[in-house]
């Protein structure tokens, strides 16, 4: 298979791009990632062999020397098939996804119900489920050694978002009315 993108290291202590793209597949290790754009969407195969889908909207960069030994031991395969190369499950009915709506799945190919209020969200390398409209992913403070890409959060109400201001969910309307009555 021809490589479209290879690993690059500049000097000791400088970032090492750990990502090899072969056709539509991208392999990326999961240590101390820093955001950068990448063209592919991905599916993550974590160490316990459970397959989870995530969007590869970023390439990971790493400091080369401190992690060289860990990269050999701890690797994760990150890949999504190209959209259109597989069949999506039928789109869920609006009533099933109400009131938070629908989103594209983590590969940005298929329409699914968004995560609901208080459901898990946010871990980039653990499936990255997306919160619905008028919700945002809120994460707790990081534990020592934990990276935000691996951290789970919960979908919490965000009635101030632009999208929600245009078309608020019933819960935001209730909060808006209670705020007005208290003033």
What is the tens place of the pLDDT at every residue in 108-131? 889 999 999 999 988 766 566 789
Is residue 113 within 8 Å of 99, Cβ to Cβ?
no
The most confident of the ranges 10-14, 33-37, 61-65, 154-158 is 154-158
Whole-Å CA distances, 169 to 2, 28, 78: 49, 38, 35
DSSP 44: E
Pairing of strands 77-78, 120-121: unpaired
Give 88-152 as a DSSP string: PPPPPPHHHHTTT-EEE-TTSSSEEEPB-TT-EE--TTTT-PPB-TTEEEE-PPPPTT--GGG--
| pLDDT exceeds cutoff 90 at 95 | yes
Using a pLDDT cut of 90, give the percent of the chain over it. 15
What is this structure's pTM?
0.50
In this predicted structure, the answer to whether residue 38 has a pLDDT above a threshold of 80 is no
Instruction: Please give the biggest Cα pair distance in the chain.
Output: 66
User: Is 64 within 8 Å of 16 (Cβ atoms)?
Assistant: yes
What class, spelled out in words, does domain 94-182 have in CATH?
A: few secondary structures
Q: Where in the chain is the domain with CATH 4.10.40?
A: 94-182
Record the tokens describing residue 31, joined without a space: 């240590």
């Amino acid at each position: 298979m021809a490589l479209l993108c290879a690993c690059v290291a500049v000097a000791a202590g400088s970032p090492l791009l750990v990502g090899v793209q072969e056709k539509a597949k991208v392999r990326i290790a999961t240590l101390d990632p820093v955001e950068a754009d990448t063209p592919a969407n991905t599916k993550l195969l974590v160490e316990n062999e459970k397959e989870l889908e995530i969007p590869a909207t970023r390439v990971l960069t790493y400091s080369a020397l401190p992690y060289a030994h860990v990269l050999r031991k701890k690797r994760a395969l990150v890949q999504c098939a190209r959209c259109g190369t597989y069949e999506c499950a039928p789109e869920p009915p609006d009533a099933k996804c109400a009131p938070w709506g629908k989103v594209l799945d983590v590969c940005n190919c298929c329409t699914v119900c968004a995560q609901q209020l208080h459901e898990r969200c946010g871990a980039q390398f653990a499936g990255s489920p997306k919160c619905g409209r008028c919700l945002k992913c809120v994460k707790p403070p990081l534990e020592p050694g934990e990276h935000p890409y691996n951290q789970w959060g919960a979908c919490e109400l965000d009635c101030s978002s632009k999208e929600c201001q245009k078309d608020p969910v019933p819960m935001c309307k209730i909060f808006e009315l209670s705020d007005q009555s208290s003033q």
